[in-house]
Structure 1
Amino acid sequence: DLVAAAEPLPPAHPGPESGDVALLQYTGGTTGVPKGAVLTHRNLRANAAQGRAWVPGLRDGAETVYAVLPLFHAYGLTLCLTFAVGIGATLVLFPRFDADQVLDAARRRPPTFLPAVPPVYARLATAARERGVDLTSIRYAISGAMALPPATVDLWDQVTGGLLVEGYGMTETSPITLGNPVAPTRRPGTVGVPFPSTDVRIVDPEEPGRDRAPGEAGELLVRGPQVFAGYWNRPEETAKVLLPGGWLRTGDIVTMDADGFVTVVDRIKELIITGGFNVYPSEVEEALRRIPGVREAAAVGLPTADGEEVVAAVVLDAAVGGTPEAIRTACRTHLAGYKVPRRVVVVEDLPRSQIGKILRREVRDQLLADG
């Protein structure tokens, strides 16, 4: 009835090749004042098409996508909306992620494709195992926004029998630029290889015109049809990230192996410098999560008279427990001395964004406020 009553589109309506603005996607809330990223119709259509090409075996008109991500976030906007609509999928919308609600829905309308963040996969797989709910209908799962622990991949594979792969993106790229193959050739711990029609470079963060040697860590630059048009009414901010030739500075430090698989080391702005040494928070957090009893962790740099010190906020598993000093001692097994947190603070929960990403800046602010 809706289609029958619709008026034809005007001849000048925006199309896939249009450079017309589709929306302003606000970003930057975790690092500073939010900025409106200008995404065009071409940006959004291109990224949906790239996602369609990336996943083998998709059945147009026959998939069921579960939208546990908010549609106002770039990740949910593409994978849960433009991509899903583009393949004619059934889209099951949730007001927020609730494991029991998702499992109840799965019994009525089994999902086949689930884009989410790592904590969602861990909680959902655990709850499904406890309740005896079958999730083997989920053939594809793509994780983003934060590092995907190998233990979560193993748990998900055991519960669903499907493939959970990690990708990489940012609001300024609509958002996806790299992904692991949706195949046994995936490499957990990496964010994969460039999407179709996407070029990458790894450069010196201080001199972005100079490429780093193969295998050496550097800032990731990306170029492709999904790269945004700039920040709304912020030409100076735009000039800082959009370089000649269409290259976008991501602000992320990465390495690339001989086969082209990229591993994210950390964000430039969240780098901790202690005693003249660089410490990447993600490396500290990974070491912390390997310690029995530590469920979640965030590492930040707090100011001292000589620079910064590494401080960690951790959420403990009540059934296992642990003390801050025991956690610090355990860290020494996995980290060089200067990377071991000088302090470990036990908290009940960690601040998160609306898609579940841990907000290090808010962790830092709270630790400073608490002294």
Structure 2
Amino acid sequence: MTTAEEWNEAFTPRPVHEYLESTVAEFGSRPAADFMGKVWTYAELGELVDETAAGLQAMGVGPGVHVGLCLPNTPFYTIFYFAIMKVGATVANFNPLYVEREIAFQARDADVRIMVTMDLKIIYDKVEEVRKEKILDKIIVCPMSFCLPTVKKVLFSLFKRKELADIPNDAAHIRFDDLLAKGQKPKPVDIDPAESIAVLQYTGGTTGVPKGAMLTHKNLSANIEQMRCVFEKARAGEEKMLCVLPFFHVFAMTVAQNLSIILGAEMVLQPRFELKSLLDAIKRKKVTLFPGVPTIYTAINNSPLTENYDLSSINLCLSGGAPLPVEVKESFEKLTGCILVEGYGLTESSPVAAVNPLDENRRAGSIGRLVPGTSSRFVSIEDRHSEVAEGEKGELLLHGPQVMKGYWKRQDATDEAITPEGYLHTGDVGYQDEDGFIYLVDRIKDLILCSGYNVYPRVIEEAIYQHEAVDETIVIAIPDEYRGQSPKAFIKLKDGFSMTGEDVKTFLKDHLSSIEMPREFEFRDELPKTMVGKLSKKELVEEEAQKRSEAQAKSA
């Protein structure tokens, strides 16, 4: 077995866009992307990337410029992702489901002055409001009609016109067709893979205040190469990758998009998760690779729709974003006949750090072994400078070429997260067995892992506090069979006020995204506090665990 040191010696970092160029040269006539039945070849994709890159250069986009992508999974995401990198600029990913305040905060923090988005009102209107606040200078607007096959384009123009935004004709708004430098290529740019920031990927960490992880070309190219090693049996130029996880999420960006590019695979793009559409796509395209999160595999397992579909084309699924329940894994493998393995990573490691073997050696309940070129340590929770004995539980630390450069404009947070030797504190507690398999047993953080997304209790609490009737609130995670975890809010009202959970939910709709919305609300006369008067979550977490234990005992 190759050691981490040996793999790293053999690894040569590359600018990320070079992977696309290599695939265009080798598989130019192969399909690169399918969106609702409209297909682009790798040659066509490469040409669009070049023309977009040349147009961006003409705008003055280059090294040091951060361009925001607020896009669902469409060809536009991939086009702009590689075009931005090709001119030496940096991609800043934005979730299109963000509310306006979240877009504004991140754009300001990331120094984003140019945003790429769609002409759909549901996304564009929020971005335009941020521009009106003078946070953005320009918006590049991509037409939904470009993505659609002829018949669907006609139907969309007839029945969905009200969903399109009214785009002003001025210098602040640039239409995609006007940006394209037809037939042109960008001027070459020197990129240092180890230093040049390819992507600013925001993550909340332990504080709930989003921080931009600086992922260099070296970080991303390392994770691309590491995943290619993991998927060593994948057939170059033949695979079909289901891309239902959003590319603005680091897991999908690497495992669905970037891995597809190095493989010359066809990306079957899904703009959002809708079960019938997903099953139709698998059947229509005979999908072979399917990265997902446990909630998606659970939905497929439990839906009566599934029995109407042949899913036997799927060879391999990689689950990430949240712990994969053993029963979900076993049911899905029985249903499809494919291999479903669990992986592990975090934004700060680009993201993949460990994956279960793709053979019979995989182990349920484990996140698997470290990917090539990666090493680990386990340190004491009480003393993060002290390593624990082999097999003992401790905080997992990671070292490898995929570990981020640091947090954008947060040197203090960087120093806290990365040791002088380059090891990344993950905040996850676990242990490693004698065969190298890692098991995670707890989390240091209070983060709620909801459908693969980090949901921050503090953000929810602050939104609840905006209601005049609320005196105190605590938000914790509770188990959710579908999403893995969901938020639960405990609320103490001010004297003289009364309200229901539905009242709170109605109020929060303008303050929180759907993924952040608490699943349960509980009103109490008092909330637990520490000796010094701070609100304490520990007692509520223990109470919920006791409730679950008693409920399970009754049902046994």
- Classify the TM-score, shorter chain: 0.7 to 0.9
Matched ranges for 1:119-198 at <5 A: 119-127=295-303, 130-198=306-374
Q: CA deviation at 1:57?
A: 1.3
CA contact (8 A) 1:56 1:182 kept: no
Aligned length: 307
Q: Displacement of 1:130 after TM fit?
A: 4.0
Distance 1:332 1:211, change over 3 A: farther
SS of the residue corresponding to residue 66 of structure 1 reads strand
Could you give the per-residue CA deviations for residues 200-228 of structure 1, whole angstroms, max 9, x where no partner exists? 11111332221111221110000101000
CA change 1:237–1:297 in 2 (3 A) is: closer
Hey, what does 1:344 align to over in structure 2? none
* Alignment partner, residue 94 of structure 1: 270
Partner of 1:118: 294
**What's the offset of the Cα at 1:328?**
4.3
Work out whether residues 260 and 267 of structure 2, in 8 Å CA contact, stay in contact via their aligned partners in 1: yes
Tell me the residue number matched to 2:550.
329
Matched, 1:57 2:287: no
Which residue does the alignment assign to 2:209?
Answer: 33
CA distance in 1, matches of 2:257, 2:395: 30
Contact 1:25 1:38 in 2 (8 A): yes
Moved over 6 A (4+): 299-302
* Aligned-partner residue type, residue 201 of structure 2: Q
- Is it true that 1:13 corresponds to 2:219 in the alignment? no
> C-alpha separation between the residues in 2 aligned to 1:309 and 1:240?
28
1:215 aligns with 2:391: yes
Q: Distance in 2 between matches of 1:242 and 1:195?
A: 19
**Superposed displacement of residue 14, structure 1:** 2.4
- Secondary structure of 2:195's counterpart equals coil
CA shift in 2, pair 1:209/1:153, >3 Å: same
Q: CA RMSD in A?
A: 3.1
Give runs of aligned pairs for residues 277-316 of structure 1, distance below 5 A.
285=479, 304-305=528-529, 308-311=538-541
Q: Runs of 5+ in structure 2 lacking a partner? A: 1-42, 48-182, 448-475, 491-526, 531-535
Cα deviations by residue, 1:217-244 (Å, 9 ceiling, x for unpaired): 1100001010000010111111100101
2: CA distance, partners of 1:63 / 1:9: 32
Alignment partner, residue 22 of structure 1: 198
**Superposition deviation, residue 187 in structure 1:** 0.4
Whole-angstrom distance in 2 between the partners of 1:296 and 1:222: 25
Q: Percent identity?
A: 38
Residues 131 and 120 of structure 1: CA distance in aligned 2, closer, same or farther (over 3 Å): same
Asked whether the equivalents of residues 289 and 317 of structure 2 are also in contact (C-alpha less than 8 Å), the reply is: yes
TM-score normalised to structure 2 length: 0.51
Deviation at 1:253, TM superposition (A): 0.7
Q: Is the 8 A contact 1:18 1:42 kept in 2?
A: yes
Q: Residue in 2 aligned with 1:278?
A: none
Distance in 2, matches of 1:128 and 1:84, equals: 30
What are structure 1's unaligned runs of at least 5 residues?
A: 272-280, 315-323, 335-371
> Displacement of 1:67 after TM fit?
0.7
Deviation at 1:126, TM superposition (A): 3.3
Structure 1 residue 255 corresponds to structure 2 residue 447: no
Match of 1:224 in 2: 400
Paired AA for residue 70 in structure 1: P
Q: Distance in 2 between matches of 1:224 and 1:332?
A: 44
Matches of 1:213 and 1:128, distance apart in 2: 49
Give the Å deviation of 1:8. 6.3
Partner Cα distance (1:243, 1:40) in 2: 18
**Cα distance change on mapping 1:204 and 1:153 into 2, 3 Å:** same
Q: Name the SS of the counterpart of 1:184 in structure 2.
A: coil
Instruction: Label 1:67 to 1:118 Cα distance change in 2 as closer, same or farther (>3 A).
Output: same
Contact 2:242/2:282 (<8 A) preserved: no
| TM norm structure 1 | 0.75
Specify the alignment match of 1:71 in structure 2. 247
C-alpha distance in 1, partners of 2:201/2:274?
25
Q: Which amino acid in structure 2 is aligned with residue 95 of structure 1? A: P
Structure 1 contact 298–313 (Cα < 8 Å) conserved? no
Q: How many Å apart are 1:300 and its aligned residue?
A: 7.8
Preserved contact between residue 299 and residue 312 of structure 1 (Cα < 8 Å): no
Match of 1:205 in 2: 381
More strand by share: 1
Task: Return closer, same or farther for 1:182/1:222 CA change in 2, 3 Å cut-off.
Answer: same
Please give the per-residue CA displacement for 1:285-334, whole angstroms capped at 9, x wherever unaligned.
5xx96xxxx996558898624653144899xxxxxxxxx99854244699
Q: Distance in 2 between matches of 1:74 and 1:50?
A: 15
Q: Distance in 2 between matches of 1:233 and 1:58?
A: 39
Give the number of the structure whose residues are more often helix, by fraction. Answer: 2
- Would you say the 8 A contact 2:197–2:216 is kept in 1? yes
Shift of the 249–327 alpha-carbon distance from structure 1 to 2, 3 Å rule, reads closer
Whether the aligned pair in 2 keeps the contact of 1:299 and 1:313 (CA below 8 Å) is no
Contact 2:293/2:319 (8 A) holds in 1: yes
Aligned residue number for residue 42 of structure 1: 218
**Taking structure 1 as reference, are residues 326 and 171 closer, same or farther at Cα in structure 2, changes over 3 Å only?**
closer
**C-alpha distance 28-153 of structure 1, shift in aligned 2 (>3 A):** same
Larger Rg: 1 or 2? 2
Deviation for aligned residue 1:55: 1.7
The Cα offsets for residues 95-150 of structure 1, whole Å up to 9 and x where unpaired, read as: 11111001111221011111110010111233376432111111110011111001
AA aligned to 1:329 is: E
